[in-house]
Each structure stands twice: as structure tokens, then as C-alpha cells.
Structure 1
Amino acid sequence: MAKVLVIYASMTGNTEEMAEAIAEGAKEAGASVVLKEAFDATANELNDYDGIIVGAYTWGDGELPDEFLDFYEEMNTLELSGKKAAAFGSGDTSYPIYCGAVDTIEAKLKELGAEIVSESLKFEYDPSEAEKEQGRSMGRRVAGLVMINS
């Protein structure tokens, strides 16, 4: 069975809510899914999954949140070639860099050799029903592509 990991950092619950929708979509597609907060995970765990979906809210002027930094730094030791991946996160359009953390995560996944298989998902504050459906769609897409290749 295809295995998908959804890792996220959330302060107010908005990114967690989207992570849950993404995980739901991946399960609908038939994948075995693990949903974890970044501070409860190690980057090495990414090696154990066929699909990786990583999300975080954006802090300040486009930065990664503090509780995500250790996980992000640990990622530097990984080689993710052959992994299907996607990035998501929440942000605030009042800042000059909207959802900069999402772009940073996606760039890191690419740098480590992962194949980005879904357009990144960015949303402001709490996700609407339509945005949650986009999240479920992302989960289904990643899981579906992983299942084809397993």
C-alpha cells in the first residue's frame, strides 16, 4: 500500500485544518496516511514514505515559523529522489511576501530531489470549504501518483 506523510506546523489551527483535509483526500485515494506536527517528527521519517506533503504557516515577512525550523534544518541531510511531494500553508496578504514559507518548503523539497506533483496550496487564515476541497484534491493527487508508481 502506498504510504503518504503529511507534516505541518500550525499555530492557530488553520494549517492543521488544511493538513487534515489533505490527509482525508489521500486516504480517499487508498493510501496509508500519517499526519504529524513538525515538532513531533524527524526529517528522517520522510525516507519511509512514497508521498510527502509538507505545510507551514508563514511568520512575519515570509519566514518559516520557529517550531518548523529544526525539522527544516534536518531536511538538509536527506536525498528525496523518487518521492512525490507537495507543499501547502497559510498566510496573510497584508504582508509583502504572501505565504513565503510555502515557497521555501517547495524549494527545499525540489533541492533534495523530490518531484513536486501538485501546485502549492496557499490560503489566508482559516481555509474555506472550497480551499479544503483543494486540499483533499492535493491529497488524492499525491496518493494517486504514488499508488501508480508502487
Structure 2
Amino acid sequence: MAKIVIAFASMSGNTEEIADLLKVSIEPFEHEIDLAEIEHMDVNDLLQYDGILIGSYTWGDGDLPYETEDFYEDLLSIDLTGKKAAVFGSGDHAYPKFCAVVDLFEERLKECNAELIQEGLKVELTPDTQEEIDECVDFAVNFASQIGE
């Protein structure tokens, strides 16, 4: 059994909804799962997990949300070698840089030597169509199945 953290930042509730859906989808794998808001986390907390899922909305024109800035910067202070990770987020196609924060966190996790085991999940606002829900479930199941390896 692996230990997984789903760390997220959500303003309108969209990213939190994705995080909840991921958690429910991973539960059948019997991994230990912690759901945490990024602004209440210390990056060193990540070291106790085998799997790391980071989720955030994108603010404005591709910017990090205020509540993730310190966490994002502090990531450079830790080595995540041996940790499996993936990133998810919500965005709005009305903005030119759709879900840009997913890409920012993927790059930062690579800089910390984390192993990105799948492509980031980018959701328009909230997963409300069956297709979007299935995409989230598939993302979670794929992640959970690779964590046990």
C-alpha cells in the first residue's frame, strides 16, 4: 500500500471538485490518501508520500494563484527523487493560457527530480460532462495503478 497526497488550490471549488473525484477514484486501490490544501502545506510534507498529485487553478493570464506561490518557490528546496507525481488543474478557455499552471508545476516537479508518470490533466472549469468525469477517473486510476509498482 502506497501513501498518496492530493494537494490542491481551489478558489471557486472547481479544482477541489476534481481533487475529490480523484480521491474517490483512487480509494478502491487501498492506498492511503491525504487530501490537503496547498496553502496549509509545507513542501517537506511531500517527502513522506510515495505518490504526489498537485492540482491548481490558473489565475489570470497563466499565473500561479497567490496561495500557491510560496509552495511553488519552496519546492526548489527539496529533492523528490523516487517520488511519482502528476499534476491536474482547472482552467477557462476564455483566457489565452489554458491551465498554464499545470505546465508550471510539471516543470517544477521535474526540477525537483520527481518522476512525472503521466501527462497533466486539464479540465475546463469543472468536470460536469460524463466525458470529463471519465477523463478524471482514468487519470486517477492510471496514477493509482502505477504507484503500486
Counterpart in the other structure of 1:134: 135
Amino acid of the residue matched to residue 96 of structure 1?
P
Percent identity over the alignment is: 43
Gap regions ≥5 residues in structure 1: none
Larger RCO, structure (CA 8 Å, separation 6 or more): 1
Structure 2 residue 63 is the aligned partner of structure 1 residue 63: yes
- How far apart are residue 133 of structure 1 and its match? 2.7
Alignment of 1:41-56 (within 5 A): 41-56=41-56
Task: Tell me the residue number matched to 2:101.
Answer: 101
Question: Which consecutive aligned stretches of 4+ in structure 1 deviate over 3 angstroms post-superposition?
Answer: none
**Contact 2:80-2:113 at 8 Å conserved across structures:** yes
Counterpart in 1 of 2:81? 81
Check whether the contact 2:76–2:111 (CA below 8 A) recurs between aligned residues. Answer: no
Q: Helix, strand or coil for the counterpart of 1:61? A: coil
Range that drifts further, 104-113 or 135-144: 135-144
Distance 2:117 2:67 in 1: 26
Take 2:43 and 2:133, find their aligned partners in 1: how far apart are those partners? 26
> Normalised by the size of structure 1, how large is the TM-score?
0.93
RMSD between aligned residues: 1.2
TM-score (norm 2): 0.94
Determine helix, strand or coil for the equivalent of 2:62: coil
Aligned counterpart, 1:92: 92
Equivalent pairs, count = 148
Q: CA deviation at 1:140?
A: 2.0
- TM-superposed deviation, 1:27: 1.4
